[in-house]
Amino acid sequence: MKFVTDKKALVIELHGREQVWALKAKISVYKKDIINVEYKDVFNDWRKWEVRLPGTGMPGKLVAGSFWTEDGWDFLYLTNPHGWLNPFVHNVLFIETKLQKFHRIVISCNEDEAKKVVRWAKNRR
């Protein structure tokens, strides 16, 4: 996975198997549409209802793809989720947007990559 930024947009490029699991090659979000970007050590803010359309779910290994929720669409690419009733994932980039698709983008990644995207988003020039 690669994060590409310019003055106006963030592009998340998925590569190889990531494309197969998520059934998506890239996601583009304009900076003006981003509400919040943050790195989270632990992510456990799951929606009450989530329907995977389309994507892949392998318990304990991977959650990837588009998910419809009561608040709109989410895109998730999360590796090594823990737990069944109250699942959580370590080391994620959390992006909240004004868009209906995707209202939230939640991606497992290392802290350094996530913080580069956070710095880019906070620079509103």
Query: What is the model's pTM?
Result: 0.91
Cα–Cα dist 57/4, whole Å: 26
d(CA 2, CA 81): 21
Domain ranges of the chain: 2-122
Q: What is the pLDDT of residues 55-90, one digit of tens each?
A: 888 888 999 999 888 888 999 999 999 987 778 999
Please say whether the beta carbons of 2 and 115 come within 8 A. Answer: no
- All residues at 6 or more sequence positions from 66 whose CB lies less than 8 Å from its CB, including other chains: 22, 23, 24, 52, 53, 54, 55, 73, 74, 75, 101, 102
pLDDT digits (tens, 9 = 90+) for 92-110: 999 999 998 999 999 999 9
Instruction: Determine the Cα–Cα distance for residues 109 and 41; give it in Å rounded to an integer.
Output: 10
Are 22 and 14 in contact, with CB atoms under 8 Å apart? Answer: yes
